[in-house]
Structure 1
Amino acid sequence: MKHPLHPALVHFPVACWSLATVMDVAVWLGAAWPPQSFAAALLVGGLVLGLLAAAAGFWEFLNLPAGHPAEQDAQSHMALALCSWCLYAGSLFFRTSHSQLIPMTPIALLLSVLGFAVLLAAGWMGGRLVYGRGVGVTPQV
């Protein structure tokens, strides 16, 4: 494939998690809408789609030439993205009891906000890979 798949997939988990975090903060501040189940559904969607984006990104990482100058940045991007995935998975975990959705707990909110902060850092590092290091960019002829 000439076009990397990771950049095409990554927007979906980012959108899901960003909206889930906004909804979490809104609910925590007292908003009657959106229902907490919307945020939970977005977390699930982000986690599933995040696995697909991570798999595509890992495949592209494996195809970097050995000793590529962007290798360290790619590892940092990958670590940040996986950390964000784990924080959002933890947020979902603390919203459930016996497979049932429960009201959002402070720890679930904290994990969601931390997940978003780490997600921003992962996105910044991903931008650095593309715009700074030229990873996945076809050279001009």
Structure 2
Amino acid sequence: MRHPLHPALVHFPIACWSLATAADLASLAWGEPAWRFAGILLLAGIGFSIPAMLAGLLELAKVDGDNPAIKDVNRHMIMVMGALACYVASLFLRLHGTHFVEPGLLAIGLSVLGFLCLGVAGWLGGKLVYGHRLGVSPLPPV
């Protein structure tokens, strides 16, 4: 493949987790339909995050250890892992066996914290591509 797969895959967990956080906040006003939807989206986002993270690890293997971008790469990974940890914890707090139950404030708070981590991770991902030009084909000579 001529271009990295990671950027194409991250849209799925980002969309699911962002909508899950929005549904969690909406559940404070709308109740059960919103928090059930949030639970399904959390589960889907966690599932979609696995191939996205594996593709990111493959991209990481192409980055030299002395590359100036490596600090931002590590920060990006830490923030993504933080988001994943928050969303997984939020999911477990709303599960009773295999059934969703109404999330408490801690579960919703973890969803919001996961969203904040996700936003920082996305900003760092943009910095890696547009600032450090990782995963970008070199420009042809003029």
**TM-score greater than 0.5 by the shorter chain:** yes
AA aligned to 2:52 is A
Indicate the percent of aligned positions where both proteins have the same amino acid: 44
**TM-score computed with the length of structure 1 as normaliser:** 0.95
Structure 2 match to 1:2: 2
**Separation of aligned partners in 1, 2:84 and 2:120:** 13
Moved over 6 A (4+): none
**Separation of aligned partners in 2, 1:18 and 1:129:** 22
AA aligned to 1:26 is A
User: Does 2:66 align with 1:82?
Assistant: no
Structure 2 match to 1:102: 101
Structure 1 match to 2:60: 61
Structure 1 match to 2:20: 20
**Separation of aligned partners in 2, 1:4 and 1:81:** 18
CA deviation map 1:94-139 (0-9, x unaligned): 0012222111111110000000001000000000000100000011
What is the CA distance between 1:38 and its match in structure 2? 1.1
**TM-score computed with the length of structure 2 as normaliser:** 0.94
Aligned partner of residue 39 in structure 2, secondary structure: helix
CA RMSD between the two structures = 1.2
Matched ranges for 1:106-125 at <5 A:
106-125=105-124
**Separation of aligned partners in 2, 1:46 and 1:110:** 17
Question: Structure 1, unaligned stretches of length 5 or more?
Answer: none
**Aligned pairs, how many?**
140
